Amino acid sequence: MVDLYGQYVRLKDEIDRAMMEVIASSAFINGPAVRTFAGHLSEYTGAEYVIPCGNGTDALQAALASLHLLPGDEVLVPDFTFIATVETVALLGLTPVIMDVDPDTFLIDPASIGKYITPKTKAIIPVHLFGQCVDMAPLLEEAEKYELKVIEDAAQALGAWYTFPDGTRKMAGTMGDIGCTSFFPSKNLGAFGDGGAVFTDDEGLAATIRSYVNHGTQKKYYHERIGINSRLDTLQAAILDVKLTHLDEFIEARQRVADWYDEHLGPLSFLRIPARAANTTHSFHQYTLVTRGIDRRHLMNYLKEAGIPSMIYYPLPMHRQEAFSGFPFYHKEFPVADQLCNTVMSLPVHTEMNEEQLDYITTYIKNYQHG
Ligand SMILES: *Cc1c(COP(=O)(O)O)cnc(C)c1O
């Protein structure tokens, strides 16, 4: 699905040099590269404060913990997402409230927020799934109306741009009160291990989050709150700082792959190519098709026979996860998420794909004989 080694080989000189510098200085924990990278990421995204941390899940947890919510407060989350979005809410003693998603874009529809609101609803986590932004202008209006804090889950969409009705553009993760991202190796900006970051323009929230991920500390050995230990490793920061200078190219390469797939798979009746949501660019963390009138497993096995990988993101919606069996949404009606989980299929999309590979994949899919 990805070619992490191929990308490394292409950037080897730059990356090796950056890693050797860290090793030579032996400042492995909170070394200067962490601060340098955070500064560059702030410039890149436009976020005033960037707080690096250990992974994207911790970023979400730190963001949620900084809002001083009370046990039982409700947080709106999509049904069709990676578990981290929902798990962190539950871990903090808050109550996730599941929203169904739009069948075309796979994203939450801001117009549906009203029907999930109760007096306990305090926050919402829009997930910019697969690389394109939730429609944030109407979402922020609804959030203001219902006094909700907004935490963007931009783990899959770093580098995607959203355009507001007045023409201003903002990057995924910088529109809500807080944004979170992940540097998991396969993400758009991937480390050689785990990593994550939190974005905010609010000085107070930034200070709280910074303290939370550092054992609740601002001054060493004086702990003002109960926190966690979640650091971005210095080696990872050095690698990410190199890769950040290439992120726009990475995204353009992903978009070229998606354009190729769209053009060649668009005419096939048994597949629906991914819809491009309004007002956002698509950074194509995943290229996710909806299969129509065919046995998805049969197609995936057919691909496998030709050495073409495919994956299901995601096979089970949040409302069917056993982990959430104690919550009221468990096994309730979320027809769109169910339908998507039963029909979606993702194809390889990464920065090292060439036309020969793409042609091989799409020609082979066009020859698929079904039903
Ligand atoms: C990857 C991902 C996360 C979590 O990131 P980690 O770095 O793996 O902890 C959270 N939300 C979404 C939507 C993700 O894709």
pLDDT > 70 in the chain, percent: 100
Q: How far apart are CA 233 and CA 231, in angstroms?
A: 6
For ligand 1, atom 10, which residue shows the shortest CA distance?
Answer: 84
The pLDDT of residue 238: 98
For ligand 1, atom 6, which residue shows the shortest CA distance?
Answer: 56
The pLDDT of residue 371: 58
Q: Which residues pair with 196 in a beta bridge?
A: 53, 182
- Determine the average pLDDT of the residues in 193-213: 98
Rounded to the nearest angstrom, the distance between the alpha carbon of 2 and the centre of ligand 1 is: 16
Strands (E), the chain: 49-53, 74-78, 95-99, 121-124, 149-153, 161-163, 169-171, 178-182, 196-200, 217-219, 222-223, 271-272, 287-291, 344-347
- Ligand 1: atom nearest CA of 81 is 13
Q: How far apart are CA 139 and CA 342, in angstroms?
A: 28
Is pLDDT of 217 > 80? yes
- Determine the average pLDDT of the residues in 48-52: 98
Q: Measured between alpha carbons, how far apart are the two ends of the chain, in Å?
A: 27
In tens, the pLDDT along 113-157 reads 999 999 999 999 999 999 999 999 999 999 999 999 999 999 999
The pLDDT of residue 370: 75
Is pLDDT of 229 > 90? yes
Q: Which residues pair with 182 in a beta bridge?
A: 196
Answer whether 273's CB lies under 8 Å from 262's CB: yes
- Ligand 1: atom nearest CA of 195 is 7
Rounded to the nearest angstrom, the distance between the alpha carbon of 9 and the centre of ligand 1 is: 25
Is pLDDT of 193 > 80? yes
351 lines ligand 1 (CB under 6 A): no
- Determine the average pLDDT of the residues in 327-343: 98
87 lines ligand 1 (CB under 6 A): no
152 lines ligand 1 (CB under 6 A): no
- Which residues contact residue 370 at a Cβ distance below 8 angstroms, ignoring those fewer than 6 apart? 270, 293, 294, 295, 298, 299
- Ligand 1: atom nearest CA of 55 is 7
Rounded to the nearest angstrom, the distance between the alpha carbon of 196 and the centre of ligand 1 is: 9
Rounded to the nearest angstrom, the distance between the alpha carbon of 359 and the centre of ligand 1 is: 31
176 lines ligand 1 (CB under 6 A): no
DSSP 282: B
In tens, the pLDDT along 52-101 reads 999 999 999 999 999 999 999 999 999 999 999 999 999 999 999 999 99
- Ligand 1: atom nearest CA of 194 is 7
The pLDDT of residue 227: 97
98 lines ligand 1 (CB under 6 A): no
- Determine the average pLDDT of the residues in 312-330: 98
Is pLDDT of 290 > 90? yes
Domains parsed from the chain with CATH numbers: 4-244 (3.40.640.10), 247-366 (3.90.1150.10)
3-state secondary structure of 179: strand
Rounded to the nearest angstrom, the distance between the alpha carbon of 157 and the centre of ligand 1 is: 11
Rounded to the nearest angstrom, the distance between the alpha carbon of 84 and the centre of ligand 1 is: 6
